Amino acid sequence: MQIRCKNCRMPFSIGREIVDQTLNTMQDENLVHFDFRCPNCKKNNKVTQRQLLRAAPGWVYVAPKKEVKKKEVKKKEVKKKEEE
């Protein structure tokens, strides 16, 4: 995806993997736009979800995996042993 900086007008590209990660982040946090920083002038450029979806036509939302804390697993194991 090509973006042109709104400040210095320099074009820069964003890869497909970054677009997919950004769309997942936007879906998780319920964002309307995402800020990409220009590598030349360091200014933020707002890119809407609609623009990102045009760059990734086959994108499918991937929900983040919930991490199980080790303490919770150990407590469950201890309770099972106590019941036996």
Are residues 24 and 61 in contact, defined by beta-carbon separation less than 8 angstroms?
yes
Are residues 36 and 45 in contact, defined by beta-carbon separation less than 8 angstroms?
yes
Average pLDDT of span 56-68: 80
Give the tens place of pLDDT for each residue, 28-48: 999 999 999 999 999 999 999
The number of folded domains in the chain is: 1
Q: Is residue 30 part of a domain?
A: yes
Q: Is residue 41 part of a domain?
A: yes
Q: b/e map of 18-33 (b: 16 or more CB within 10 Å)? A: ebbebbbebeeeeeee
Q: Is residue 80 part of a domain?
A: no
Q: What is the pTM of this model?
A: 0.71
Residue whose token pair is 């074009």: 11
Q: Is residue 81 part of a domain?
A: no
